[in-house]
Structure 1
Amino acid sequence: MSEEQKRDNAQAYWQKNVRLMIGLLVVWFVVSFGCGILFVDELNQFRIGGYKLGFWFAQQGSIYTFLAIIFIYAFQMRKLDREFGVEDDE
């Protein structure tokens, strides 16, 4: 593989990585800030486990979402690493 191909490959890899990170950060922002602060009044009309849904998102939902995002990111990056041939050999 020539240097130009390596550079193009690295650039494509980085662009997909950044796109994935931005998408996941948007989800985290919507859940933590949107559901916990902006839409709390609308969500509080519903209950989950005896608690108002807006309160639940502010206290627990954003944490669960963050944990899910970590696993999704790890899974997607493993796929991306395989696609571009940069996976770790263990």
Structure 2
Amino acid sequence: MAESRLTASQQAAYWEKTKRLMLFILAAWFFFSFLIHFWAPQLNTIRIIGFPLGYYMAAQGSLIAFVLMCVWNAKAQDRIDHEFGVQDE
């Protein structure tokens, strides 16, 4: 395993960065999964092309945000892996 080439302090730094990324992604997931939907009734007072904004944010915006978070997470983790030299070959 490539990770075994790291010293203990490098492993700790690697997992600290990975944990920070994971916690940020989980916070963003929580925001787009629950908080946006919680405010949907208030957002529904704004209409775009005849549809309430809450509909766009809950039905479409959350899905787009999830896909973008997956792409961003993969790229950010890849940068962390390259930084510590544990990337996949």
Question: Which of the five TM-score ranges fits, normalised by the shorter chain?
Answer: 0.7 to 0.9
Q: Taking structure 1 as the reference length, what is the TM-score of the superposition? A: 0.81
Question: 1:10 maps to which residue?
Answer: 11
Query: Letter of the aligned partner of 2:60 in structure 1?
Result: Q
Q: Taking structure 2 as the reference length, what is the TM-score of the superposition? A: 0.81
Question: 1:71 maps to which residue?
Answer: 71
5+ residue gaps, structure 2: none
**Alignment CA distance shift 1:79-1:48 (3 Å):** farther
Instruction: String of CA shifts for 1:2-49, please: whole Å, max 9, x gaps.
Output: x8x61211111111111111111111211221111x211221122345
Question: 1:28 maps to which residue?
Answer: 29
| 1:61 and 2:61 are equivalent in the alignment | yes
Residue aligned with 2:86, SS: coil
How many corresponding residue pairs?
Answer: 85
5+ residue gaps, structure 1: none
Query: Letter of the aligned partner of 1:31 in structure 2?
Result: F
Conserved? CA contact 1:32–1:61, under 8 Å: no
Conserved? CA contact 1:40–1:55, under 8 Å: yes
**Alignment CA distance shift 1:47-1:31 (3 Å):** farther
Question: 1:86 maps to which residue?
Answer: 86
Deviating 4+ runs (over 4 angstroms)? none
RMSD in angstroms over aligned alpha carbons?
Answer: 1.8
Bigger relative contact order (CA 8 A; separation at least 6): 2
Conserved? CA contact 1:45–1:53, under 8 Å: yes
